[in-house]
């Protein structure tokens, strides 16, 4: 497990692609609210997420924990608009972002919707036929129709901040997994999302690469970016979280505004059981 100390990040901030120009990422902005969310996959006998509610204040880092299959990825995917929901609603800054549709279809997204939420996945989903810079610049230039020169300048600033300025012209296949994930983070950030979602972004990485990616996310947290993070890196979760949510069997079984207390003294049996899966007792070894 990676030993991350929250105070180890340098003072250089990722700046959330120029937070001052984008008030959505300041303290007054983008609170995300999930209300009575129900998600059931077609042909499934029961919902994966059943009446989930929580509020993410702007600038806060929520860490979502839970056993495999508990619906963590599904939760992030519904917030990102990648999955329709069958009940409840999701609002951002008071504005409706997603809601249940009787036909099970996604609410048609407005042009601004796509940029409210940025998501980085476990798999390095860079476009293989675009360079690093090309990957980062694609959406802001083609979708957001922003000025190419200023997008390029911002892309270079972001690459500098994640330590990859010298790889701007590299192709994805020339990068390590950790480098690809850092590019994927830049690609999401350049769209100035109000909320960033990270779904086990280090799960496929070697330990040293885990560290370099998590350090970037910690810096982002320190810069005030609102984030939801799904991770199995418990030391990192402890270091970065403002709030911890434990999902199991489609529900929130425990949550806490005091992550240290949650990790040291979980209240529910389910949380104790879950956290116990991350520790090994020498007494279990037969001599």
Name the residues that contact ligand ATP, by CB under 6 A.
Answer: 41, 44, 48, 66, 68-74
69 binds, among ligand ATP, Mg ion, none (CB under 5 to 8 A by kind): ligand ATP
Question: What residue number has its CB nearest to Mg ion?
Answer: 73
Only one residue has tokens 């959406």, namely 139
Kindly state whether residue 202 participates in binding Mg ion, applying the rule CB under 5 A: no
Alpha helices in the chain (DSSP H): 72-79, 132-142, 148-161, 177-189, 207-222, 234-240, 259-264, 269-276
Which of residues 9 and 70 has its CB atom nearest to ligand ATP in the complex?
70
Q: Scan residues 57-86 and list those touching Mg ion (CB under 5 A).
A: 73
Nearer to Mg ion, 198 or 263 (CB): 198
CB of 82 to ligand ATP, least distance (A): 10
For the record, the structure tokens of 209 come out as: 């690469």
Phi (first) and psi of residue 109, to 5 degrees: -80, 140
Residue 135 binds which entry of Mg ion, ligand ATP, none, CB below 5-8 Å type-dependent: none
Give the binding-site size for Mg ion (rule: CB under 5 A): 1
Residue 36 has a CB neighbour count (10 Å cut-off) of: 13
- As measured in angstroms, the least distance from the Cβ of 92 to ligand ATP is 21
The minimum distance between CB 87 and ligand ATP, in angstroms, equals: 16
Q: 190 and 221 in contact (C-beta within 8 Å)?
A: no
Helix extents (H) in 130-205 = 132-142, 148-161, 177-189
Cβ closest to ligand ATP, residue 66 vs residue 224: 66
Separation of alpha carbons 150 and 146, rounded Å: 8
The whole-angstrom separation of Cα 96 and Cα 120 is 23
Q: Closer to Mg ion at the Cβ: 86 or 231?
A: 231
> From Mg ion, ligand ATP, none, which one binds at residue 68 (CB under 5 to 8 Å depending on kind)?
ligand ATP
> Using CB distances below 5 to 8 A depending on partner kind, what does residue 223 bind out of ligand ATP, Mg ion, none?
none
Radius of gyration of the chain (CA): 19
Selection from ligand ATP, Mg ion, none that 131 binds (CB < 5 to 8 A by kind) is: none
Name the residue nearer to Mg ion (CB basis): 66 or 178.
66
* Alpha carbon separation from 250 to 22, 66, 85, 125, 246 (Å, rounded): 35, 10, 14, 28, 10
**Closer residue to ligand ATP (CB): 41 or 127:** 41
Question: Which residues of this chain interact with Mg ion, rule CB under 5 A?
Answer: 73
């Amino acid at each position: 497990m990676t030993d991350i100390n929250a105070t180890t990040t340098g003072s250089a901030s990722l700046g959330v692609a120029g937070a001052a120009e984008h008030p959505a990422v300041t303290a007054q902005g983008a609170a995300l609210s999930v209300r009575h969310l129900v998600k059931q996959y077609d042909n499934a006998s029961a919902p994966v997420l059943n009446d989930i509610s929580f509020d993410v204040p702007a600038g806060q880092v929520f860490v979502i924990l839970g056993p495999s299959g508990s619906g963590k990825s599904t939760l992030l995917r519904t917030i990102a608009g990648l999955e329709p929901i069958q009940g409840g609603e999701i609002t951002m800054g008071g504005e409706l972002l997603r809601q249940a549709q009787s036909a099970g279809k996604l609410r048609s997204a407005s042009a601004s919707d796509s940029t409210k939420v940025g998501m980085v996945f476990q798999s390095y989903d860079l476009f293989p036929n675009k360079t690093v810079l090309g990957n980062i610049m694609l959406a802001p230039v083609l979708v957001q129709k922003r000025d190419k020169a200023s997008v390029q300048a911002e892309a270079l600033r972001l690459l500098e901040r994640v330590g990859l300025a010298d790889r701007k012209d590299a192709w994805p296949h020339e990068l390590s997994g950790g480098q690809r994930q850092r590019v994927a983070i830049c690609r999401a950030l350049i769209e100035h999302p109000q909320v960033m979602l990270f779904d086990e972004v280090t799960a496929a990485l070697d330990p040293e690469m885990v560290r370099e990616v998590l350090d970037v996310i910690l810096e982002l947290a320190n810069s005030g970016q609102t984030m939801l993070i799904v991770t199995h890196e418990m030391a990192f979760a402890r270091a970065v979280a403002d709030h911890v949510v434990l999902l199991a069997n489609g529900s929130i079984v425990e949550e806490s505004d005091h992550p240290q207390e949650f990790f040291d003294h979980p209240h529910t049996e389910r949380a104790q059981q879950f956290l116990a899966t991350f520790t090994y007792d020498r007494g279990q070894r037969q001599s």
